[in-house]
Structure formats: C-alpha cells, structure tokens
Chains A and B, each alone.
Chain A
Amino acid sequence: RKEVEQDPGPFNVPEGATVAFNCTYSNSASQSFFWYRQDCRKEPKLLMSVYSSGNEDGRFTAQLNRASQYISLLIRDSKLSDSATYLCVVNHYNQGGKLIFGQGTELSVKP
C-alpha cells in the first residue's frame, strides 16, 4: 500500500464549479501536511500547508481528519488557471525533513 494515496483523476469541471480532492495517508504518526500544485512537466509549487483546525486561502480550503487519516482540498469558483495536478504531501515524525508525495490528482477546468 502506498504511504500517500490520491485519485489520479482527471477531474473535468466547468469554470465556476466547486471541486474537492481527498488524499489518504497510511502512517498515523504523520505530522505535517501540504498541498502542492504542479503544472504540466513543471516543478511542484507549494499551494498551502494543512493545519489541524483546517485553513483557507482565498478560494482554497484544506481540511485534515486525523481519525480517518485523510486530508482534503476544496477549490471554489474554479478558474481555467486552476488546471493542474495537485499533489498531497505528508511528513511523519521520524522522517525529519523528508516529505512523502502522492502521485497527484489531475484537474482540468473547462470554459
């Protein structure tokens, strides 16, 4: 079983739609969580950290459910420019600064 699992998609949504991705992680000792965004064949870029109480950044909301070991990303009012692959990233205590990346969920926003 992979340490971090994501539905690879693609999720095809119209502009203005709300879309949500989930990601599950297998190690209950996981401590830190991030969402990264990666445009086609370019470098991953940090989108947002995920905090225990949940957090919001503009149209993006991240949630953490430790009991069920999943994190989610909600995108409201989707824009064409949101089309990308979204990577779920996890770290656990004994990994130090190492991050474990999910394979990514592809989002395509259509006009």
Chain B
Amino acid sequence: DADVTQTPRNRITKTGKRIMLECSQTKGHDRMYWYRQDPGLGLRLIYYSFDVKDINKGEISDGYSVSRQAQAKFSLSLESAIPNQTALYFCATSDSGGVQPQHFGDGTRLSIL
C-alpha cells in the first residue's frame, strides 16, 4: 500500500462546482503539503500544515482552502472551481525537525471544464 494516498486520482468537473481532494498518509509524519504542477511552471505550494492545529498559506492559496482533520489526513477544497485550476495536484508529507525530504502521493489529475 502507498504511504501517501490521494483520492481521487482523476476528476473532470464543471466550472463553479465545489471539489475536495483527499490525502491520507501512513508515514506518521507531522507535516503535510499541497502542491499544484503546471507545464513549464514546476511545483507550486498551495497550503501546508505542520501539525493538526496549524494551517499556512503557500505561494498560490487564492481559490483554495484546506482542512487538517487529523495527523494522517489533509484535504484540499476548491470552493468554486474555475478552468485555470486545471492541473496536476500533489500531496506530500515530511517528518518534523529541521528540513526533511518530502514524500509525494501519486497525484490527482483535475480538469475543470
């Protein structure tokens, strides 16, 4: 089983819909992250959380919200999806204590029509 699991793997939806992407991990890491990846732009950080009570905006948080329900779960919501949110979304986790490498889920391919 994957250590970092994202659901769904693929989603096609319409403009204006509310969408939730889920991430769960079995690595026991405190830190979790949401990124989006677009061609030519690389990975950009949307939100991150260093523990259950901690939520921080990343580089491109507008139009997104997150919830850290438990240590193992970090969900990303698009309240009213728009076409330029079409991208590949990754969840990642890392251990705490200084700078640690991040471990990524398989990604969610999201298309907004």
Contact = CB atoms under 8 A, between A and B. Distances in A.
B50 A97 contact: yes
Contact of B45 (A43, A44, A49, A98): A98
Contact of B42 (A34, A41, A103): A103
B102 to A, nearest CB: 6
Interface in B36-56: 40-45, 48, 50
B34 interface: no
Contacts, number: 51
Interface in B78-110: 88, 90, 94, 96, 98-107, 109
A98 B99 CA distance: 8
Interface residues of B, number: 27
A32 B94 CA distance: 14
Contacts of A42: 106-107
Interface in B4-61: 31, 33, 35, 40-45, 48, 50, 58
A-side binding surface: helix, strand, loop or mixed? loop
Interface size, A (range):
20 to 34
A32 B42 CA distance: 19
Given A97-B31, A97-B50, A98-B48, A44 B43 contact: yes
5 contacts: A32-B98, A41-B107, A44-B43, A91-B99, A97-B50
Given A43-B106, A87-B43, 18 more contacts: A41-B88, A43-B105, A44-B90, A45-B104, A46-B102, A87-B42, A91-B99, A96-B50, A96-B99, A97-B94, A97-B99, A98-B48, A98-B58, A101-B35, A101-B42, A101-B43, A103-B40, A104-B42
Interface of B: 31, 33, 35, 40-45, 48, 50, 58, 88, 90, 94, 96, 98-107, 109
